[in-house]
Structure 1
Amino acid sequence: MTVPVLPRLRVRTLAAPPVPDLFDLLPPDVDAASVVSWVREGSGLIGWGRAASSRTADGGRGGPDRFATAAQWWRDVVAGAEVVDEVDLPGTGLVAFGSFAFAPGSPDGGGLVVPRVIAGQHDGKAWVTSIEDLDLSTAADTEPGVSDPAPTDPAEGAPAAPDLLPAPGEAQSEPARGIRLLPGAVAPPDWPRVIRAGIARIAAGEVDKVVLARDVVAAADAPIETVDVLRRLADRYGATWTFAVDGLVGATPEMLVRLQHGRVRSRVLAGTVRRDRTPAPSVTEAHPELEDAHTPDPRLRFVSDAKELEEHQFAVRSVAEALAPHCAALEVPEEPFVLELPDVYHLATDISGEASDDATSLDLAAALHPSAAVCGTPSEAAARVIAELEGMDRGRYAGPVGWLDASGDGDWGIALRCGQLSADARSMRLFAGGGIVAASDPESELAETEVKLAAMRHALGLGS
């Protein structure tokens, strides 16, 4: 296996004017695979180009050590970087984006990438970060498909902020033509059979819960534009985190872990009910940030049947147990609240605590993965059942996706409601799954996956 080259990075963050839409800043000719995103309700980070990557030319860094390998690479990169940060907010300075395979044995192991340009904004403040590799012999500088480094300011030796950002509105593109949906590893009529097999494993006592997922292939006559997909997701699903890393594009409602100034937070989702509205609204209620406390939610009576509550309790317990060794005063609410999205209701619980060790956000994401929300309980047994029944490699679907900075702070979600773009951008694998417990109904589980696929169908311009 090829070992990734360790770069020497020069980083500078400067203040910039806020923009109505971060996605307007993406250059029109940007390589789709180099686009990164972490945006929620107009705030967050986008980037493009590639200054460095922990991924290798032979398909990534897989195996059970994939998180530890990336974490060590990041520590080494941070130690050798020259950083000037004139803004000093979460998401400024040296930042890496990452996504990791769900299963250790997946050939798409995942890893961290550092863009050449990052633009961000939050609470009325905006910035742009330029990153360049000082060693012209690194693989990042010769990587095919990556644009040349941004122009530099000779006086400072770093790219000047005004030169890095295209004028808003330049990044417009035509939607892909002739998109059609094709069956994935398991055709929809056969999916209830897979669910029945999962229920049988539960009845046999192998697992208490197992999360089973299926894929659908979106084939296009022209390249699928990442910017279009991101923009549609952000417009319709503003309460989620719209993400892109290495061609994995989606809008996740689930925050696996956030670490910021010593505070640890996680949003757990499990239990899904289709909205009883036709058509679904394009804009739902505003959702609080993770630091806001729970309040009693009267809508629980609409969605809290025994099956959904059981599934949710498994997921909350698994996250709380994984965070406990790294946190003091862990706060776990007694009951969930209802997260309202255009297509579904989710049962949700926000867990929080104070960090009690030096674990980074990536370390915490590794400790939490896989949670019961995407794997099952017990996790090792559930992972075996998944491998035996799903008939596909999930790749980075249902794995951690997000970003971290030089201090180790960052956000990591779970790659849900997403698709993996092919190398030629003319197809995308879409994924959806659901938690299976003893009370699950196979036909209802098929219907749930169709509802969850609605987000990416909409993102591809196929309606909801």
Structure 2
Amino acid sequence: MSSPSPADAPTPRGVPHPALVVRTIALPTARVADLLSLLPEPEDAGDVVSWVRKGEGFVGWGRVATFTASGPERFEQAQEWWRQVTAEAIVRDDVDEPGTGPIAFGSMAYSRRSGTESVLVVPEVVVGRRGDLAWVTTITTDATVPAADEPLDRQPAPQGPGAVEFADLDLAADRWAEAVDEAVSRINAGDLDKVVLARSVRATATRRIDPRWVLARLAYDYDTTWVFAVDGLVGATPEMLVRLERGLVTSRVLAGTIRRTGDDSHDLALAGSLARSSKDLEEHEYAVRSVADALAAHTSSINVPDSPFVLHLNNVMHLATDVAGVVDDDSTSLALAASLHPSAAVCGTPTLLADDVIGELEQMDRGRYAGPVGWMDASGDGEWGIALRCGAYESARSLRLYAGCGIVAGSVAADEVAESVAKLLPMRTALGG
């Protein structure tokens, strides 16, 4: 897992030597029917990677190369490192699809001031599946091309963490509610339009928390999300910050939330009220505008739907909009993610002012929470979500869980506390709490 580094001090490390040797071969899809079940038990929670949604995506294990950086240039430094690595790699790719060949999994710190490093990880083994295609990629630093014959047997089911206790960190719920009230006062005074405030909770287990246990439960309970693990950050995000595939860029914007009750007829009525809520529509409009404006600088055309739809997840419903465009420069998926970060969905509007308010009122370092998380291949194609509904390993038996809420003029502190509780539920449930 990443170690802290001084704030605002760029500290790029990890250029591998000698060159990576990469081999990708096709597999029968039957061999990878359940990607997460293929993960071997890791010695360290940070040694598994995952990017899985509805049975498709990637899992990986081991490490061939790791890059870390902090400070304002962390995105540029990570991208330059990856370009250098892939330019020197020796590659044999029998599949030649997005995500095959050399691939890095990344998790970037939310803030340039964060004491947590951003990280790119190149695993030893990556197993992928998309539709009717499945493959395995092995990566080494040996002088000969690997055979890509890594065994892909279903692993024994991981053990649960036992009893888990949860405790507020930084700001307890009542003090966080006071921060929400202060934010609303500043918005009503005209200082800013929106700010996203987050809180954190520590989960402490009686036994080791196996990341495979957490991932499997998240995938089962929240199959419409991207279930991720990168360097000790695990979670299930519903929000695709950016996807780049062969020149087409897409971004799913989520802002405006209501908790589900479990009663289908009642939830349908709640979805209708969410779609008509002026407070939530205002919050959503800010988020969509920030994404569209950022992507416009990199695209020849862009499509922004006139109105959002309601995305139904197991625990909450969100207002959602899918933005799409055609990239007309040489931007990689990571560069596009950098141009979008932080969006109004995780920061606020105007961005710089909202970010300052976050630093003042939250009273915590978000680390890699609310930062981009995902993957990128040698061509620059990739997918980057926002690290939401997640937890960061603090030790083998402890995770720091995060949740945030968008605050606008109509926000009520008690409602925002309830929303944060709903957003903590996926990780609490995955841990057995």
| Alignment gaps of 5+ in structure 1 | 56-60, 136-155, 286-297
Letter in 2 for 1:100: M
The match for 1:34 is: 47
- Alpha-carbon shift at residue 222 of structure 1 (Å): 1.4
Number of residue-to-residue matches in the alignment: 420
Asked if 1 retains the 8 angstrom alpha-carbon contact of 2:403 and 2:424, the reply is yes
Aligned partners of 2:240 and 2:251 also within 8 Å: yes
Separation in 2, partners of 1:302, 1:272: 7
Is the partner of 1:233 in helix, strand or coil?
helix
Q: Are the equivalent residues in 2 in contact too, given 1:25–1:165 (CA < 8 A)?
A: no
Residue in 2 aligned with 1:114?
122
Deviation per CA, 1:373-411, whole angstroms, max 9, x where unpaired?
000000000000000000100000000000000000000
Evaluate the alpha carbon distance shift between residue 244 and residue 74 of structure 1 in structure 2; reply closer, same or farther with a 3 A threshold. Answer: same
Is 1:405 matched up with 2:377?
yes
1:299 Cα offset (Å): 4.9
CA distance in 1, matches of 2:63, 2:393: 17
Please name the residue that 2:34 is paired with.
Answer: 21
Q: Tell whether the 8 Å contact from 2:78 to 2:120 is kept in structure 1 after alignment.
A: yes
Matched residue type, 2:91: V
The answer to whether residue 211 in structure 2 is matched with residue 226 in structure 1 is yes
Residue 99 of structure 2 corresponds to 91
SS of 2:330 mapped into structure 1: coil
Q: CA deviation at 1:278?
A: 5.6
Is the aligned partner of 1:5 residue 2:19? no
Assess if the C-alpha contact under 8 Å between 1:117 and 1:129 holds in 2: yes
Match of 2:392 among 413, 417, 420: 420
Summarize the Cα distance change of 1:95–1:276 in structure 2 as closer, same or farther, 3 Å threshold: same
2:47 pairs with 1:76? no
Q: Which of 173, 179, 183 pairs up with 2:164?
A: 179
Give the match's secondary structure for 1:158: coil
Deviation of 1:30 after TM superposition, in Å, equals 4.9
Query: Corresponding residue for 2:3?
Result: none
Deviation, structure 1 residue 37: 0.7
Q: 1:6·1:73 contact (CA, 8 Å) conserved in 2?
A: no
8 Å CA contact 2:137–2:148 kept in 1: the answer is no
1:276 aligns with 2:282: no
CA distance in 2, matches of 1:2, 1:309: 40
C-alpha change, 1:410 and 1:29, in structure 2 (3 Å) is: closer
After TM superposition, give the deviation of residue 203 of structure 1 in Å.
Answer: 2.1
| 2-structure distance, mates of 1:337, 1:405 | 31
Partner of 1:330: 302
Residue in structure 1 matched with residue 57 of structure 2 by the alignment: 44
Contact 2:12 2:67 in 1 (8 A): no
Q: Aligned AA for 1:91?
A: G
The answer for the alignment partner of 1:289 in structure 2 is none
Paired position in structure 2 for 1:288: none
Is the 1:273–1:303 Cα contact (8 Å) retained in structure 2?
Answer: no
Partners of 2:230 and 2:111 in 1: CA distance: 18
Amino acid at match of 1:6: P
* Per-residue deviation, residues 396-430 of structure 1 (Å, max 9, x unmatched): 000000000000000000000000012x3210000
Q: Give the Cα separation in 2 of the matches to 1:333 and 1:95.
A: 32
Tell me if the contact between 2:245 and 2:382 (Cα under 8 Å) persists in the aligned partners. Answer: yes
Equivalent positions of 1:17-416 (< 5 A) are: 17-18=28-29, 19-55=32-68, 61-134=69-142, 157-161=145-149, 164-168=150-154, 170-277=155-262, 299-416=271-388
Cα pair 1:51 1:132 within 8 Å, conserved: yes
On the 8 A contact 1:25/1:171 being kept in 2, the answer is no
Supply the AA of the counterpart residue of 1:400.
P
Cα RMSD (Å): 2.1
CA distance in 1, matches of 2:347, 2:80: 26
Cross-structure match for 1:460:
431
Please give the alpha-carbon distance, in whole angstroms, between the structure 2 residues aligned to 1:9 and 1:40.
28
The separation in 2 between residues aligned to 1:234 and 1:453, in whole angstroms, is: 16
Q: Please state whether the residue corresponding to 1:91 is helix, strand or coil.
A: coil
- Runs (4 or more) in structure 1 with deviation over 3 Å come to 298-303
> What TM-score, normalized by structure 2, do the two folds share?
0.93
2:119/2:231 contact within 8 Å kept: no
Matched to 1:183, the amino acid is: D
Which residue among 412, 435, 447 is the counterpart of 2:406? 435
Higher alpha-carbon deviation: 2-11 or 176-185: 2-11
3-state SS, counterpart of residue 297 of structure 2: helix
Find the residue that maps to 2:399 and give its secondary structure.
Answer: strand
Residues in 1 aligned to 2:264 and 2:166: alpha-carbon distance in whole angstroms: 21
Q: CA deviation at 1:93?
A: 0.6
Contact 1:91 / 1:405 at 8 angstroms: preserved in 2? yes
Q: Deviations over 1:217-243 (max 9, x none)?
A: 001121101001000111111111111
Aligned to 2:418: 447
Q: How far apart are 1:6 and its partner, in Å? A: 3.1
On the 8 A contact 2:51/2:229 being kept in 1, the answer is yes
Asked whether the equivalents of residues 400 and 415 of structure 1 are also in contact (C-alpha less than 8 Å), the reply is yes
- Three-state SS of the structure 1 residue aligned to 2:426 is helix
Instruction: Give deviations 1:97-150, integer Å, cap 9, x for gaps.
Output: 001011101111212110000001111221100001248xxxxxxxxxxxxxxx
Structure 2 unaligned segments of length 5 or more: list them: 1-10
SS of equivalent to 1:210: strand
Task: State the match for 2:5 in structure 1.
Answer: none
Aligned equivalents of 1:323 and 1:15: distance in 2?
A: 34
Q: Does structure 2 retain, via aligned residues, the 8 Å contact 1:303–1:345?
A: no
Identity percentage over the alignment?
53
Q: What SS class does the counterpart of residue 457 from structure 1 fall into?
A: helix
Equivalent residue of 1:159, what SS? coil
Distance in 2, matches of 1:79 and 1:209, equals: 42
CA contact (8 A) 1:28 1:172 kept: no
Q: Conserved in 2, the CA contact under 8 Å of 1:27 and 1:166? A: no
